Amino acid sequence: MNNLISFVKLIRLKNLIIVALTQLVIKFSLINPFLDNFILTNNQFYLLVLSTIFITASGYIINDIYDVKTDKINKEAIRIIGKSITSRNAITWYIIFNFFGLGLGSYIAYIVKQPYYSLIFIYSIFSLWTYSKRMKTSFLLGNLQVSLLTALSIFNIALFDVIPNGINKNNGEMMIFKIILFYAVFAFIITFIREMIKDLEDMEGDREIQAKTLAITYGIEKTKWISQIFTFITILGISYFQYFQYSISSSKFEYDISIWGVNRIAIIYAFFIQFLFLFLGFKIYTSKLKNDFHIVSQICKNIMIVGILSIPLFTYLHLN
């Protein structure tokens, strides 16, 4: 039982659930309700989700394998590799998960008649390996790498389920594609902020292995300042969306119209997300200690969840 619990922690089951729910929400709250010519059946889409989950889980495993030295300093109490799970067993699961992830991904690429899409899964596996081995301790490259992969997990949905049939502006495909792209960019930015904060949280162990992360290179205050800049950029982006909401809701039309994301509850929800980012900026500014940065990291994760949940909410309000 203890080994099972350790394995669940190793693959970050909670994070995997968030990844899966994000993809499922976009499929069943955005693509299926509004598009008639989506490509993947529900069962085929489940295989795409499983492929993403397998590869993501393998990324967590290889990351912990390479992080044993720093985890002895930063997270000794919750370290798994070398304690409850051996490195050999972890590597075995890493290979198994990548095998199934690549196999399922390649099958879905074949289904959509774009076999070269399988390169996306090869890139993801290779990218997670290089991140764990080298890029994680580099200056910004590791942060950008993880952020890009997070955004890619969302963009892949459009890539496999919308784009192969072509994007027809008159049938709503372009609008759905833009919405998916917007959420992919949102995921990229919030993940990038979180990765910089995690570097601040892990500074002690990173110094021990002579890492060159942003936090080590420029120090706490400058890293916080850069994180706040990206937080402010996101606030500006949400403000632009709020301006769109206000412009449409305050306009008078000859006929009653309903636009996705534009109604009273959606406007309030957008203000709530805006408040969360303002709170995030404040917490970044006031954080000083390791535990403070851990709390900020969790706030970033919660903002991601709240942002993604806007999709089913906006769709429900639009259709009802």
**252 or 120, which is more confident?**
120
Q: Tell me: the pLDDT tens digits for 46-83?
A: 999 999 999 999 999 999 888 877 767 777 667 788 78
Residue 257 predicted with pLDDT over 80: no
Please give the single-letter amino acid code of residue 278.
L
pLDDT of residue 259: 80
Q: Tell me: the pLDDT tens digits for 144-172?
A: 999 999 999 999 999 999 998 888 776 78
* DSSP-assigned beta bridge partners for residue 262: 259
**137 or 27, which is more confident?**
27
**For 252-258, what is the mean pLDDT?**
58
**For 244-264, what is the mean pLDDT?**
75
Alpha helices in the chain (DSSP H): 2-10, 13-26, 32-34, 42-66, 68-74, 87-111, 118-133, 141-161, 173-201, 203-208, 214-249, 264-286, 290-319
Please give the single-letter amino acid code of residue 12.
R
pLDDT of residue 167: 82
**172 or 97, which is more confident?**
97
Radius of gyration of the chain (CA): 21
pLDDT of residue 181: 96
Cα separation, 287 vs 297, whole angstroms: 11
Give the whole-number percent of the chain exceeding pLDDT 70.
95
Cα separation, 315 vs 320, whole angstroms: 8
**253 or 231, which is more confident?**
231
pLDDT confidence tier of residue 276, bands split at 50, 70 and 90: very high
* DSSP-assigned beta bridge partners for residue 242: none
- Provide the token pair at 24: 């499922």
* Least confident span in 126-135, 146-155, 158-167, 252-261: 252-261
pLDDT confidence tier of residue 258, bands split at 50, 70 and 90: low
**For 212-237, what is the mean pLDDT?**
95
**For 233-252, what is the mean pLDDT?**
87
* Positive or negative: CA dihedral 156, 161, 165, 170: negative
pLDDT of residue 252: 67
Residue 175 predicted with pLDDT over 70: yes
Q: Tell me: the pLDDT tens digits for 286-312?
A: 999 999 999 999 999 999 999 999 999
pLDDT confidence tier of residue 272, bands split at 50, 70 and 90: very high
- Per the listing, tokens 């089951």 go with 13
pLDDT confidence tier of residue 208, bands split at 50, 70 and 90: confident
pTM assigned to the model = 0.92
Question: Quick check: 214 and 140 in contact, CB under 8 A?
Answer: yes
pLDDT confidence tier of residue 246, bands split at 50, 70 and 90: confident
* Positive or negative: CA dihedral 193, 197, 203, 209: negative
